[in-house]
Amino acid sequence: MEDYVSVDSDDDYDYLYYDDGTEDGGDSDRLEFAETKADADSQSVNVKVITRESLLAAQREDLRKVMDVLSLKEHHARSLLIHYRWDVNQLLSGLVEKGKDKLYAEVGVTILEHRDLVSSNFSSSKAKKSTVLCEICFEKVPTNVATTMDCGHVFCNTCWTKHFIVKIKGGQSRRIRCMAHKCNSICDEEKIRMLVSTRDPILAEKFDRFLLESYIEDNKKVKWCPSTPHCGNALRIDDCNLCEVECACGLKFCFKCSSEAHSPCSCQMWELWSQKCRDESETVNWITVNTKPCPKCLKPVEKNGGCNHVHCICGQHFCWHCGRPDKFHGGYHSCGRYTEDEQKTRNAKRDLQRYMHYYDRYKAHKHSSELESKLQKTMKKKMSELEAREITSKDYSWATEGLNRLFRSRQILSYSYPFAYYMFGDIFGSEMTKQEKVIKQHLFEDQQQQLEAHVERLSSFLEAPFNEYPDNEVITLRMEIINFSTVVDKLCRKLYECIENDLLGCLTRTSQSIAPYMSNGMDKASEVTDCKGL
Amino acid sequence: MIDFARVQKELQECGKDVEGSGIRVAPKSDATLARLVGTIPGPIGTPYEGGVFQIDITLPDGYPFEPPKMQFSTKVWHPNISSQSGAICLDILKDQWSPALTLKTALLSVQALLSAPEPDDPQDAVVAKQYLKDYQTFISTARYWTETFAKTSSRGIEEKVQKLVEMGFPEAQARTTLESVGGDENLALEKLCSG
Ligand SMILES: [Zn+2]
Ligand SMILES: [Zn+2]
Ligand SMILES: [Zn+2]
Ligand SMILES: [Zn+2]
Ligand SMILES: [Zn+2]
Ligand SMILES: [Zn+2]
Ligand SMILES: [Zn+2]
Ligand SMILES: [Zn+2]
């Protein structure tokens, strides 16, 4: 009887593994872990990006650890790791706790202690017993077309193959059990691969991919990047309960809920908000935020920069948020505040208005940050013009850092509106007394408005055509930008602290939390794109 | 894609031991082996004793690598069987199915389920609650249902004819066959199936 286990290597599935070099584990540059740590912040975590190419290497690293410590075959190590969601340490402590035999039985790992003996017994009895009755198809088949699994159960190859195909198609590649009733043993993946590939090579490839992807899908510490179209990356983070990360492809996302980065809005609030936006956009057609009528001449005015104060061709300045004529360009204003009088309208209308109030501001800041990203280009131009001049300082980090501060704080402002919508709305607001709610809402809005005003100022400074300024004015502007950047940073941190401790912390029925404030932006899972090289 | 050769062998194998086990499996019609009817006697010493229970069996394309679908067509009062639809909550009909099991072994498991209900994992919450809170009432209800729905003699001839018609047999043929076997539904079915 030819047991497939004795067939040690077959070209059909060698493609799965790296060439010779990697097998001995010495080829470390194959491990494409681009490892970076966010600089200043103490909160920063270790983020690695796993590309499709390095997925196998990352998985092999964990497999090898378990195979070495327990001297197991790869498919046994894999079964154990899948059982423990790819947490090697938990697996090892589970082993100490339960003991080898109990754990192996639980997971379905069957070890043949004396494989040589068994197979030699088989070959000696081969002459006597050349057929075997397959208990699945009830056919007598020659032993050379039957396969024995680790558990000792033998069935014909046709039946095994059909069984594997049903399981793989049913999405159960990670745990294909033996066909015998009540046999918990996991089938040898090499035998599965071998049998399936002769019948359906494409499915055999899929099987390999499923096994590979289990490393990500069953792994607590690893998440696919949610980009569409998918960039092919997954990120691995050690020790993160709630944080936001940036993939090598540039997408920033929440590691907890896999949606776009949404702090200082909590995951639950963000989910509610996204759902609401989808629902509302179907029924109400007011999401045209690209133009607004001028309060003086009523012509539609398009927003042409990140600043929320717009200029109509008639000469009128007005606030993009509220449409109020406002002649102090960049001045402090409080239109992001929601006044109680607006609440006096009837319920349905009130709810819609309330939503629109928050939605408008949420969208306006989003829109601003999109427009401001164009600033990057003009900024580069302005700086190169300055560089051509004879000026004392050639350091323009104040401009690029100011710009980055602006981008980050715009995002924060934007997401602070859905947060406020839910925090002080019916769902979560009911967890506070009315008086408590009023006090907290004021506390929050004061901080939000203060931040908003400073962000608008920062935006206007950065929009200034300073490349045309005389040297002394450039120096003054530089000071303003540095000062405002510092203040905006502090205000953002304060806002996060206020939300986490004073607001979400007081909710009693639900437990909400936000990712910690990252002064220097999110942890990136690749080489940091150098802002100085803009 | 159903392995009909195996189903054939299963039917033959099962037919050899009807006397011993009381378990029968027969095709619903001559047209296909994918739809079958299983019959199990109620276990002795249970409120189901004396009843004969019919189970609709549908074989999925992947049979025997996928579990057969089974559902009581005889109404039964049991915590793990829906009193409304006859749906059965049994692990071997779901994730614990193994291709090494057969229709007969599956029906034996269903029969064993009648003897040993698992009210903690109920299919019918009302029945399960009664089983746990008021066992005596449960027993008498189950017995009453057995008397009413699972006993051949208690069922009117018209109802049996109707049932056979629903299975796809011509009404006249169903009636004469039923009369020829003295009103025994199962015998009539077997006779109709064997042609
Ligand atoms: Zn077979
Ligand atoms: Zn086995
Ligand atoms: Zn990505
Ligand atoms: Zn989230
Ligand atoms: Zn105008
Ligand atoms: Zn402006
Ligand atoms: Zn304004
Ligand atoms: Zn306003």
Angle in degrees, CA B113, B18, B112, rounded to 5 = 10
Distance CA B87, CA B76 (A): 10
CATH topology of domain A361-514: Four Helix Bundle (Hemerythrin (Met), subunit A) (1.20.120)
Amino acid identity for residue A77 in this structure: A
pLDDT above 70 coverage of chain B, percent? 95
- Whether the predicted pLDDT of A510 surpasses 80: no
- Whether the predicted pLDDT of B87 surpasses 80: yes
What is the ipTM for the molecules in this complex?
A: 0.74
- The answer to whether the CB atoms of B64 and A136 lie below 8 A apart is yes
> What does the pLDDT read at residue A531?
30
What tokens appear for A290 in the block?
Answer: 């690209």
Phi-psi region of A2 (alpha: psi -120 to 50; beta: other; left: phi over 0): beta
- Whether the predicted pLDDT of B70 surpasses 80: yes
- Whether the predicted pLDDT of A281 surpasses 90: no
Angle in degrees, CA A122, A125, A127, rounded to 5 = 120
> What does the pLDDT read at residue A35?
38
- Whether the predicted pLDDT of A532 surpasses 90: no
Q: What is the B26 CA–ligand 8 centroid distance (Å)?
A: 77
Task: Tell which residue, B46, B67, B53, has the closest CA to residue B22.
Answer: B53
Domain regions of chain B by residue span: 4-150, 154-194
Q: In the predicted model, what is the mean pLDDT of residues A435-449?
A: 93
* pLDDT tens for each residue of A481-496: 999 999 999 999 999 9
Domain B154-194 maps to which CATH number in 3.30.70, 1.10.8, 1.10.287, 1.10.3470? 1.10.8
* pLDDT tens for each residue of A324-348: 776 444 444 455 555 444 444 456 6
Domain A115-205 maps to which CATH number in 3.30.1390.10, 3.30.70.260, 1.10.10.350, 3.30.40.10? 3.30.40.10
> What does the pLDDT read at residue A45?
58
- Please tell me the number of Cα atoms within 13 Å of A124 on its side-chain side: 6
Of A166, A181, A182, the CB nearest to B65: A166
Lowest mean per-residue pLDDT among A26-40, A171-185, A303-317 = A26-40
Lowest mean per-residue pLDDT among A236-240, B86-90, B128-132 = A236-240
A172: confidence class by pLDDT, cuts 50, 70, 90: confident
Which residue has better confidence, B8 or A20? Answer: B8
Of B5, B66, B100, the CB nearest to A180: B100
Distance CA B46, CA B44 (A): 6
> What does the pLDDT read at residue A119?
45
> What does the pLDDT read at residue A306?
55
Report chain B residues whose CB lies below 8 A from the CB of A163: 65, 99
> What does the pLDDT read at residue A22?
38
A204: confidence class by pLDDT, cuts 50, 70, 90: very high
Domain regions of chain A by residue span: 1-42, 115-205, 294-329, 361-514
What tokens appear for A275 in the block?
Answer: 């759902």
Q: Kindly report the nearest CA distance between residue B39 and chain A, in angstroms.
A: 23
> What does the pLDDT read at residue A305?
54
Q: In the predicted model, what is the mean pLDDT of residues A126-151?
A: 86
Q: Kindly report the nearest CA distance between residue A179 and chain B, in angstroms.
A: 6
Across A274-288, A371-385, B22-36, B63-77, which has the greatest mean pLDDT?
B63-77
Task: Report DSSP state, residue A260.
Answer: B
CB atoms under 10 Å from CB of A89, counted, come to: 9
Which residue has better confidence, A34 or A452? Answer: A452
Q: Are A512 and A266 within 8 A, CB to CB?
A: yes
- Whether the predicted pLDDT of B92 surpasses 60: yes
Q: Are A248 and A237 within 8 A, CB to CB?
A: no
> What does the pLDDT read at residue A15?
37
- Whether the predicted pLDDT of A53 surpasses 70: yes
Lowest mean per-residue pLDDT among A81-85, A114-118, A161-165 = A114-118
Q: In the predicted model, what is the mean pLDDT of residues A372-377?
A: 82
> What does the pLDDT read at residue A326?
61
Whether cis (ω within 30° of 0) applies to the bond prior to B60 is no
- Secondary structure class of B67 (helix, strand, coil): coil
- Whether the predicted pLDDT of A292 surpasses 90: no
The mean predicted confidence, pLDDT, of chain A is 78
* pLDDT tens for each residue of A414-431: 999 999 999 998 878 888
pTM equals 0.57
A107: confidence class by pLDDT, cuts 50, 70, 90: confident
Which residue has better confidence, A4 or B87? Answer: B87
Beta-carbon neighbours within 5 Å of ion ligand 3: A 225, 227, 231, 233, 247, 249, 251
What CATH superfamily is the domain B4-150?
Ubiquitin Conjugating Enzyme (3.10.110.10)
Q: In the predicted model, what is the mean pLDDT of residues A284-289?
A: 43
Amino acid identity for residue A389 in this structure: R
Angle in degrees, CA A43, A49, A53, rounded to 5 = 170
Q: In the predicted model, what is the mean pLDDT of residues A356-380?
A: 86
B153: confidence class by pLDDT, cuts 50, 70, 90: low
> What does the pLDDT read at residue A387?
79
Nearest CA in chain B to A162: B65
Q: In the predicted model, what is the mean pLDDT of residues A81-89?
A: 85
Task: Report DSSP state, residue B121.
Answer: S
Q: Kindly report the nearest CA distance between residue A173 and chain B, in angstroms.
A: 14
A493 CB burial (10 A radius; 0-12, 13-18, 19+): middle
A149: confidence class by pLDDT, cuts 50, 70, 90: very high
> What does the pLDDT read at residue B192?
83
* pLDDT tens for each residue of A9-35: 444 433 333 334 333 434 333 333 333
Amino acid identity for residue A269 in this structure: M
Interface test with B, best of A181, A185, A203 (most B CBs within 10 A): A181
> What does the pLDDT read at residue A156?
96
Distance CA B178, CA B186 (A): 9
The alpha-helical segments, DSSP class H, found in A241-319 are 267-283
- Whether the predicted pLDDT of A363 surpasses 70: yes
> What does the pLDDT read at residue A353?
77
The alpha-helical segments, DSSP class H, found in A373-433 are 375-387, 397-423, 426-429
Q: For residue A307, indicate whether it is catalytic.
A: yes
Distance CA A31, CA A53 (A): 9
Distance CA A477, CA A464 (A): 9
> What does the pLDDT read at residue A291?
65
Report chain A residues whose CB lies below 8 A from the CB of B62: 162, 166
